[in-house]
Structure 1
Amino acid sequence: MSHTDGTRDTGGLATDEFRSFGVEEEYLLLDAAHGAPTDLAADMVRSAPHSVAPAEREFFSSQLETATQVCRTADEALETLTGFRTALSREAADRGIVLAGSGLPPVGGEAAGTVTPKSRYRELGEQLRNAAAYQYVTGTHVHVEIPSPDAGVEVLARLAPWAPALLAMTANSPLWCGEPTGFASWRHVMNMSWPVAGFPPEFDSGEAYARSVEQLVESGVLLDSGVVTWLARLSQNFPTMELRIADAQLEAEDAVCFAVLVRALVDRALSEAEAGEPRPSIAHGLVNGAIWMAARDGLGAQLIDPLTARPEPAFDTLERMAASVENELRRTGDHDRVSRYLDRLRRTGGPARRQLERFEAEGLEGLIGLYRESSR
């Protein structure tokens, strides 16, 4: 339903409410001298100040994560993530390591990671074998409130056309084992080795989604429902949709800008579903093929529009995506912030390009400096 001020009702929210969201950030702990992953996550968790968001261990002992509280505004999320990065960067410096916002470590990936000593992680490592042994992948996960699982599957289907752009703008893992990979997001390629990967298929209902996940677990394909590693998924425990497509980001501001853009896309998707607009019709396999191309080229070339199967310059797609949710962004006060974000991406070429340029100009030492500067 449209209103005279240009805003919309979105998924049952009143016009003066903002849909809640949250951001999970994962980080790598890298040796400040040689850049390789360092198994100090447990030590960092113990020493994290109580005044910041909780620090948690991840699959490897060289990975750390945190999450914002349930947020309504970008400033809330930014305050939490900036506070965490600042405090934990100091703790890291005291230990001769760097808290790195990168989708993969630039060096050291040829050594199998140390699995965090939790029974679930150990069981997962045993199940996935060598597919898990080098999974130093770290991402930025955005959780957005949805009114129901039925609404959630509508959101998944309506986000699909924008998935390549969402990956391209957050691609931030161009290096692996000391060499450029030729991909903006090598993390995406590594993630494709999981039993369930890529963008999820289309579901008729929330019940159909839940049944599919249940079958994956019952069959033994997945250890449990928490290992649904689609690029977007519905929470089993909370009324949220989680987008997992983004690499870890160099800077907290970019992670937050991305999150509020995703929230706007969810708002738009729910409005379209409520208005009875049909879901986008996309040929089978085209979304994941277009995402793979986006992982390769990032913002440096063209993106494939899954709706038309035609390529267009990456920044044309980004501008079109932002324009499609202009009302939603203005409603939440995020329009100028996202506009500045897109300007920043256009100016720098995106985080993957920043990493490559620093590595080419200053080598590994310069790259470690970039991680340190960005998280400080």
Structure 2
Amino acid sequence: MSAAGHPEPRTFGVEEEYLLLDSSTGEPRDRAAALLWSDAELERRADREFFCSQIETATPVCTTGAEADRSLADFRARAAAAAEAQGILIAGTGLPPVGGEVAGTITPKPRYREIAAMLRHAAAHQYVSGTHVHVEVPDRDAGIAAIAALSRWSPALLALTANSPIWDGTPTGFASWRHMVMLSWPLAGFPHGFVSGEEYTAGVERLVSGGIIIDAGMLTWVARLSEQYPTVELRIADAQLDHTQAVSFALLVRGIVERSLSEWSAGQPVAWPARADMIDGALWMAARDGLSGALIDPATAEVLPARDLVRRMAEYAAPGLERAGDTARVTAYLEHRLAVGSPAQEQLDRFAAEGVAGLLPLYAGVTL
């Protein structure tokens, strides 16, 4: 049994967002509707996102990594084949490598139009595409405890998944430029200071009544409580090149949540390990450097080599990983990422060798 008598293992799910890019130039293409309407199964399993050049899918509720792997592999293969027929490719990258200077076409849904009107010019270049992880929690109080625990490890989690280093055909100097673009939303960074689900709900209601957001679905914090499912949702990761890496990351997140809820259910109160400014500052540094430099442990304010904070996080997650049988897979994932760097480094290496033309086979090679 896991925390609080929960059946082993705790369920989870993964949402993936993809960019639709021209297979010759790498520029965004407004083909989401045409792509999904070309295949009834794709239309059933995916939806259009904020821009007409984006789609998203989600796994079913999963218990094992293998279930999530099968779902995402099947979807990516099916979508890639349909995209190829239309001269485009689906790309698991946080931002398009070129073409982002052109204002995106808002998907014609009333809610998206309302958001665009609210954001004004800040909406123009929101090609941001991410990997979102849902982990089951018993109630919203437990969800707040999990979010508080995740805050300490958020710099390492961002560094592991940073995958948007190139913007308008130029390296930005940041591993995750998506994170920086997301800072232009009304709410950004890590939510902080809530100690109960009731307090969180009241805080969100104040944000809506004050006109800061139009509804709870517009919360663009990197972690939040889901309004649709009994889950905590971590939104910190860029879209990933490889679906198996996305799933391994999700299992790591589940391990952290499992450990935190084991402690919380044993009577430990919700405890935030650091001030909001330390957490958000550490995230900014992680978005800049990925795994190539130092990371900050928000709980101690230590500046550490990236591998040291990642391994400190892995040690924290170890009991939860063991409970779910995920230790070997997540350990291999972390060692691979520490050896080769974040996915952003893969893009930068390919870009340095071959330019934008070299990125397209990288994207296509992992979506087919």
Q: TM-score, normalised by structure 1?
A: 0.95
The separation in 1 between residues aligned to 2:38 and 2:66, in whole angstroms, is: 26
Opposite residue 108 of structure 2, the aligned amino acid is: P
The separation in 2 between residues aligned to 1:324 and 1:204, in whole angstroms, is: 21
Provide the aligned C-alpha RMSD in A: 1.3
Partner of 1:202: 193
Q: Does residue 155 in structure 1 map to residue 146 in structure 2?
A: yes
Q: Report matched runs for 1:1-376 at 5 Å.
A: 9-14=2-7, 17-48=8-39, 50=41, 54-278=45-269, 279-376=271-368
1:172 Cα deviation (Å)? 0.2
The separation in 2 between residues aligned to 1:110 and 1:51, in whole angstroms, is: 29
Counterpart contact for 1:53–1:68, Cα < 8 Å = no
1:317 Cα deviation (Å)? 1.1
1:329 and 1:53, CA in 2 relative to 1: closer, same or farther beyond 3 A?
A: farther
1:49 Cα deviation (Å)? 5.0
Identity of aligned residues (%): 54
Deviations, residues 16-53 of structure 1 (Å, cap 9, x unaligned) = x2111000000000001111000000011112352897
The separation in 1 between residues aligned to 2:223 and 2:177, in whole angstroms, is: 18
The separation in 2 between residues aligned to 1:319 and 1:180, in whole angstroms, is: 28
The separation in 2 between residues aligned to 1:281 and 1:163, in whole angstroms, is: 12
1:347 Cα deviation (Å)? 2.4
Counterpart contact for 1:198–1:288, Cα < 8 Å = yes
The separation in 2 between residues aligned to 1:211 and 1:236, in whole angstroms, is: 13
The separation in 2 between residues aligned to 1:368 and 1:301, in whole angstroms, is: 27
Opposite residue 2 of structure 2, the aligned amino acid is: D
Counterpart contact for 1:52–1:87, Cα < 8 Å = no
The separation in 2 between residues aligned to 1:194 and 1:50, in whole angstroms, is: 33
The separation in 1 between residues aligned to 2:351 and 2:39, in whole angstroms, is: 30
Counterpart contact for 1:41–1:63, Cα < 8 Å = yes
SS at match of 1:142: strand
1:204 Cα deviation (Å)? 2.0
SS at match of 1:328: helix
The separation in 1 between residues aligned to 2:39 and 2:346, in whole angstroms, is: 29
The separation in 2 between residues aligned to 1:319 and 1:216, in whole angstroms, is: 37
1:310 Cα deviation (Å)? 1.1
Counterpart contact for 1:153–1:202, Cα < 8 Å = no
**Structure 2: 5+ residue stretches without partners:** none
Counterpart contact for 2:51–2:106, Cα < 8 Å = yes
1:284 Cα deviation (Å)? 3.7
1:52 and 1:344, CA in 2 relative to 1: closer, same or farther beyond 3 A?
A: farther
1:168 Cα deviation (Å)? 0.3
Moved >3 Å (runs of 4+): none
Partner of 1:4: none
Deviations, residues 66-99 of structure 1 (Å, cap 9, x unaligned) = 0000000000000000000011111111111111
1:322 Cα deviation (Å)? 1.1
Counterpart contact for 1:35–1:364, Cα < 8 Å = yes
Worse overlay, 328-337 or 276-285: 276-285
The separation in 2 between residues aligned to 1:33 and 1:167, in whole angstroms, is: 30
Alignment size in residue pairs: 367
The separation in 1 between residues aligned to 2:5 and 2:51, in whole angstroms, is: 40
1:373 Cα deviation (Å)? 0.4
SS at match of 2:13: strand
The separation in 1 between residues aligned to 2:317 and 2:229, in whole angstroms, is: 25
Opposite residue 237 of structure 1, the aligned amino acid is: Q
The separation in 1 between residues aligned to 2:207 and 2:226, in whole angstroms, is: 15
1:190 and 1:77, CA in 2 relative to 1: closer, same or farther beyond 3 A?
A: same
1:110 and 1:282, CA in 2 relative to 1: closer, same or farther beyond 3 A?
A: same
1:184 Cα deviation (Å)? 0.2
Partner of 1:3: none
1:251 and 1:78, CA in 2 relative to 1: closer, same or farther beyond 3 A?
A: same
Opposite residue 9 of structure 1, the aligned amino acid is: S
